């Protein structure tokens, strides 16, 4: 490693652990991913499972750079994580995330700084862990957003997050369980029976997807509990081929999500909605938003930018 | 058996087989239930699985009354059933169901008459099998409905059916996958994790159920993909106890179903909606409908009445 190592950043979720090695000014020198999510550690937590996972993925880096600061975001800070980092309530600035870091002492003596999740309080509370770091990163990547009102972001995934920011303050967010509901419907209801097994996740049938969006965009078709049944009847009546049904259902669900979020928070801004997440998924949202009169703009690198920014604001990066 | 046997009626679904033995004028002499749904036959269909199931449940009746006519409704008439009975299209009268009976010759020489399912044609088709017989039965139980417009029925279940009838004609219906989605969310998503295992299905927490209805009735809370996440966050924040979460989620889903159906087909009648189905489930709908400005009236015995009526109209009952 010819460049100085300045920070180890961890995106540590339920099912995977991703590590970013940063050099000067937040430049990513290297990154790695392992399967050791907090529910899939190499040993039980009480027997040093977190230490072992970190050593297996990043042990060489930590030996090469003694004293390298470590910051981690995601479910690692939950009650089931390495150390609980209590939720920070909205509204809050990214600086409050830096001020709220929890710490845990690793087996080898170094400190791991854990980013708090965020919560929307109220009668129906909402929570997130990990996405707050991506949001801080997005605001850092686009400094002009720090002065703007009505900033909206979507972080699609197992639990999609729709985020609102005003003048650099994260004012609120809403979770949609779209990805998890899709998986449960495909694998554990009658809808999966007409669908082919082991579909190629890479090849999207855009026509089927857009048909799903169109059905979801018309309220006269009834709500989600009804329209999803058409992912069966259109197969039974041979109006869609079995291979089209998964993307049709995906369009129904993503369309339903967008329509509901638009009704809940009618757009306060004409600016495009920032789309942050895995490439295949943000492509679907970028296609879907215009059907509902909205526009999306894809933003990459938010996680890395957020880990660096929070560590920087917390003053834990050695210069 | 002191009374003459006039008809054997079968309600033969995916997971169970229920048999009704009728005497004169449709009086139910006896009934039985077995686990041999069409997906759980005692032997493969090609090896006489349907014959074996029927013999195991009703063999003694069939021996006591040679020539007893047999009528069957439900998935037994699907492509995966004993003999496919093609869908009858809406609008249609119950008499058309009787005219559309399919037949299959049983191993022992007698004929089984199978009731066709029904279909709503169109861009988003809908289908049902078994419920058409309950609907015919409901119309027979309440003859005054045969002359009325704007009759509505709900048949709650794995796939709830909302049915519309005009002057004795079944004009249309809409499926909501409420029951199946509930089961998939409970068993196969993060929502089940905070819930106790093996909850007592008999004891409904009505306060939690009604809280779910209230949340579902207010569109400002976002759509179903969002509100279901509150079945996690209200648990995380200790606003609901673990034991309350299943009935809260049930209220959210049933409330969402009713709200969506009401938007799709605003009530054309002030008469109560007939509720037909399992006792525990129709109780939930009877509680839920008033929250949405509607009223329900429970109707029992629709399946038996429908099997008898269809057989009677088809002229297969020996006098």
User: Which pLDDT value is given to residue A74?
Assistant: 98
Distance in Å, alpha carbon of B72 to nearest chain A alpha carbon: 22
Which chain B residue has its CA at the smallest distance from A231's CA? B124
Residues 6 or more apart in contact with residue B257 via CB below 8 angstroms: A223, A225, B160, B176, B178
Rounded to an integer, what distance in angstroms lies between the CA atom of residue A56 and that of residue A72?
Answer: 16
In a domain, A156, yes or no: no
Tell me what the mean pLDDT of segment A47-70 comes to: 96
Distance in Å, alpha carbon of A6 to nearest chain B alpha carbon: 36
Paired strand residues for B18: B11, B33
Shared domain check, B136 and B42: yes
Chain B residues with CB-CB distance to A257 below 8 A = 223, 225
Chain B residues with CB-CB distance to A259 below 8 A = 223
Q: Which of B184, B224, B229 lies closest to A184 in CB terms? A: B184
Shared domain check, A310 and A292: no
User: For the stretch B42-62, what's the b/e string if a residue is b when 16 or more beta carbons lie within 10 angstroms of its beta carbon?
Assistant: beeeeebbbbbbbbebbeebb
User: Which pLDDT value is given to residue A318?
Assistant: 78
Q: Which of B184, B189, B264 lies closest to A222 in CB terms? A: B264
Residues 6 or more apart in contact with residue A65 via CB below 8 angstroms: A5
In a domain, B155, yes or no: no
Domain count for chain A, please give it.
2
User: Which pLDDT value is given to residue B197?
Assistant: 77
Distance in Å, alpha carbon of B38 to nearest chain A alpha carbon: 15
Shared domain check, B190 and B123: no
In a domain, B159, yes or no: no
Chain B residues with CB-CB distance to A237 below 8 A = 125
User: Which pLDDT value is given to residue B1?
Assistant: 53
In a domain, B122, yes or no: yes
In a domain, B169, yes or no: no
Lowest mean pLDDT among A92-96, A263-267, A284-288, B82-86: A263-267
Query: A193 or A286: which carries more pLDDT confidence?
Result: A286
Tell me what the mean pLDDT of segment A239-261 comes to: 97
Q: Is A215's Cβ below 8 Å from some Cβ in B?
A: yes
Tokens standing for residue B241: 């106890």
Shared domain check, A183 and A263: yes
Give the CATH number, domain containing residue B200: 3.30.420.310
Q: Which of B184, B223, B257 lies closest to A256 in CB terms? A: B223
Distance in Å, alpha carbon of A180 to nearest chain B alpha carbon: 7
Rounded to an integer, what distance in angstroms lies between the CA atom of residue A137 and that of residue B210?
Answer: 41
Q: Is A259's Cβ below 8 Å from some Cβ in B?
A: yes
Helix (H, G, I), strand (E, B) or coil at B121: coil
Query: How many interchain CB pairs under 8 A, A with B?
Result: 143
Q: Using the beta-carbon criterion (under 8 Å), do B225 and A178 form an inter-chain contact?
A: yes
Whether residue A199 is predicted with pLDDT greater than 70 in this model: the reply is no
Give the CATH number, domain containing residue B12: 3.30.420.300
Q: Is A190's Cβ below 8 Å from some Cβ in B?
A: yes
**How distant is the alpha carbon of residue A72 from its chain centre?**
15
Q: Is A236's Cβ below 8 Å from some Cβ in B?
A: yes
By the 8 A CB rule, do A128 and A276 touch? no
Q: Is A247's Cβ below 8 Å from some Cβ in B?
A: no
Q: Is A230's Cβ below 8 Å from some Cβ in B?
A: yes
Q: Using the beta-carbon criterion (under 8 Å), do A224 and B260 form an inter-chain contact?
A: yes
Which chain A residue has its CA at the smallest distance from B257's CA? A225
As a three-state string, the secondary structure of chain A is CCCCCCEEEEEECCCCEEEEEECHHHCEEEEEEECCCCCCCCCCHHHCHHHHHHHHHHHHHHHHCCCCCEEEECHHHCCCCCCCCCCEECCECHHHHHHCCEEEECCCCCEEEECCCEEECCCCCEEECCHHHHHHHHHHHCHHHHHCCCEEEEECCCCEEEEEEECCEEEEEEEECHHHHHHHHHHHCHHHHHCCCCCCCCCCCHHHHHHHHHHHHCHHHCCHHHHCCHHHHHHHCCCCCHHHHHHHHHHHHHHHHHHHHHHHCCCCCCCCEEECCCHHHHHHHHHHHHHHCCCEEECCCHHHHHHHHHHHHHCCCCC
Other CB atoms within 10 Å distance of the CB of residue B234 = 23
**Interface mutation target, options A158, A225, A265, chain B, most CBs of B under 10 Å:** A225
Chain B residues with CB-CB distance to A228 below 8 A = 177, 181
ipTM at complex level: 0.94
Q: Using the beta-carbon criterion (under 8 Å), do B220 and A180 form an inter-chain contact?
A: no
Rounded to an integer, what distance in angstroms lies between the CA atom of residue B145 and that of residue B150?
Answer: 9
Q: In which domain, by residue range, is A230 found?
A: 176-298
User: Which pLDDT value is given to residue B3?
Assistant: 78
| Order of strands across the sheet that contains A17-22 | A28-34, A17-22, A7-12, A70-73, A111-114, A102-105
Chain B residues with CB-CB distance to A190 below 8 A = 180
By the 8 A CB rule, do B236 and B193 touch? no
Whether residue A198 is predicted with pLDDT greater than 70 in this model: the reply is no
Shared domain check, A256 and A310: no
Rounded to an integer, what distance in angstroms lies between the CA atom of residue B280 and that of residue B201?
Answer: 9
Shared domain check, B137 and B11: yes
Rounded to an integer, what distance in angstroms lies between the CA atom of residue A181 and that of residue A168?
Answer: 32
Residues B292, B293, B299, B305, CA torsion sign? negative
Q: Is A266's Cβ below 8 Å from some Cβ in B?
A: no
User: Which pLDDT value is given to residue B198?
Assistant: 67
Shared domain check, A287 and A205: yes
**Interface mutation target, options A177, A182, A245, chain B, most CBs of B under 10 Å:** A177
Shared domain check, A206 and A113: no
User: Which pLDDT value is given to residue A271?
Assistant: 82
Q: Which among B1, B7, B10, B2 has a CA at the least distance from the CA of B68?
A: B7
In a domain, B52, yes or no: yes
Shared domain check, A187 and A115: no
Rounded to an integer, what distance in angstroms lies between the CA atom of residue B228 and that of residue B60?
Answer: 49
Shared domain check, A66 and A180: no
Q: Is A112's Cβ below 8 Å from some Cβ in B?
A: no
Helix (H, G, I), strand (E, B) or coil at B75: helix
Shared domain check, A183 and A106: no
Shared domain check, A182 and A89: no
In a domain, B64, yes or no: yes
The pLDDT confidence band at residue A70, using thresholds 50, 70 and 90, is very high
Whether residue A2 is predicted with pLDDT greater than 90 in this model: the reply is no
What average pLDDT does the structure give for chain A? 94
Q: Is B46's Cβ below 8 Å from some Cβ in A?
A: no
User: Which pLDDT value is given to residue A268?
Assistant: 61
In a domain, B83, yes or no: yes
Tell me what the mean pLDDT of segment A274-282 comes to: 95
Q: Phi/psi at B173 (nearest 5 deg)? A: -160, 160
Paired strand residues for B129: none
Tell me what the mean pLDDT of segment A146-162 comes to: 94
Q: Using the beta-carbon criterion (under 8 Å), do A222 and B260 form an inter-chain contact?
A: yes
Tell me what the mean pLDDT of segment A25-33 comes to: 97
Kindly list the distances between the CA atom of residue A229 and the CA atoms of A199, A271, B128, in Å, as whole numbers in the listed order: 20, 35, 11
The pLDDT confidence band at residue A1, using thresholds 50, 70 and 90, is low
Q: Which of B185, B253, B263 lies closest to A219 in CB terms? A: B263
Tell me what the mean pLDDT of segment A138-152 comes to: 92
Helix (H, G, I), strand (E, B) or coil at B176: strand
By the 8 A CB rule, do B137 and B260 touch? no
* Regions of chain B where pLDDT drops below 50: none
């Amino acid at each position: 490693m010819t460049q100085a190592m300045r920070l180890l950043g961890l995106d540590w979720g339920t099912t995977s652990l991703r590590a970013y090695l940063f050099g000067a000014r937040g430049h990513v020198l290297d990154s790695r991913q392992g399967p050791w999510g907090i529910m899939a550690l190499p040993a039980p937590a009480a027997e040093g499972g977190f230490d072992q996972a970190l050593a297996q993925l990043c042990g060489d880096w930590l030996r090469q750079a003694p004293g390298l600061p470590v910051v981690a975001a995601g479910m690692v800070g939950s009650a089931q994580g390495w150390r609980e980092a209590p939720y920070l309530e909205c509204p809050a600035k990214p600086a409050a995330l830096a001020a709220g870091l929890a710490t845990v002492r690793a087996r080898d003596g170094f400190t791991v700084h854990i980013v708090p999740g965020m919560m929307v309080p109220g009668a129906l509370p909402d929570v997130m862990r990990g996405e707050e770091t991506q949001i801080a990163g997005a605001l850092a990547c686009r400094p002009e957003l720090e002065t703007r009102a009505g900033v909206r972001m979507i972080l699609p995934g197992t639990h999609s997050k729709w985020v609102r920011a005003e003048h650099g303050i994260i004012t609120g967010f809403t979770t949609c369980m779209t990805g998890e509901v899709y998986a449960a419907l495909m694998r554990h209801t009658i809808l999966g029976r007409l669908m082919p097994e082991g579909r190629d996740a890479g090849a999207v049938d855009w026509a089927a997807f857009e048909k799903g969006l169109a059905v979801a965009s018309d309220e006269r078709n009834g709500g989600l509990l009804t329209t999803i049944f058409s992912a069966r009847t259109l197969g039974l009546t041979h109006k869609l081929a079995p291979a089209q049904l998964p993307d049709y259902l995906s369009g129904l669900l993503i369309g339903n999500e967008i329509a509901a979020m638009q009704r809940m928070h009618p757009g306060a801004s004409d600016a495009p909605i920032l789309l942050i997440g895995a490439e295949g998924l943000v492509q679907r949202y970028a296609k879907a938003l215009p059907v509902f009169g909205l526009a999306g703009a894809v933003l990459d690198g938010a996680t890395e930018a957020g880990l660096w920014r929070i560590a920087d604001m917390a003053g834990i990066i050695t210069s």
